[in-house]
Amino acid sequence: MNEDNQLQSLAQKVADKLHEQGHKLTAAESCTGGWICQILTDIAGSSAWFDCGFITYSNHAKQDMLGVPKSILDEYGAVSEQTVLAMVAGALRNSQADSALAVSGIAGPSGGTVGKPVGTVWFAWQQRDGNFASKIIHFDGDRRSVRIQAVATALQGLLDIYG
């Protein structure tokens, strides 16, 4: 299965799960730049289960749109567990959604450091009832490959949190 078909298949599974549960989703994206929202809203009928998306590429946008505290960004950086947990909570707070996901990472080709190399991506998922998960993955590949893998991981994480 090629990358596009894999992402479409995962998105359809997410759509089916959200529709089955009667839930709405919101997404807070940084390094994926809206790709998650785009692949989900490509599905006909997505207005039944998709509420809104936040593309918060800059630290200012994370603070302004999602309420990520400046202190978290200053201490831990945009690519951290603390930041994605604040992003996912802010997405829920600023939407009508029942579930949220957040992603922030370094897609490359530059921007990496020894502690956070290119390909480092943090994820968080949260349901309004408080159920949440987070994880870090270090992806290999070029910018496009890192972003594709991040989109797939974000979608799979939603399926996992719904069980």
Q: What pTM did the predictor assign?
A: 0.96
pLDDT per residue over 126-149, tens digit each? 999 888 999 999 999 999 999 999
Domain containing 31: what range? 3-162
* Sign of the four-CA dihedral 111, 117, 118, 123: negative
Where residue 59 sits, what CATH number does that domain have? 3.90.950.20
Question: How many domains, in total, are found in the chain?
Answer: 1
Average pLDDT over residues 34-43: 98
Closest CA to 126 of 150, 103, 158, 156: 158
Task: Evaluate if residue 158 carries a pLDDT over 80.
Answer: yes
Sheet holding 132-138, edge to edge: 50-55, 25-29, 99-105, 120-127, 132-138
* Sign of the four-CA dihedral 92, 94, 95, 101: negative
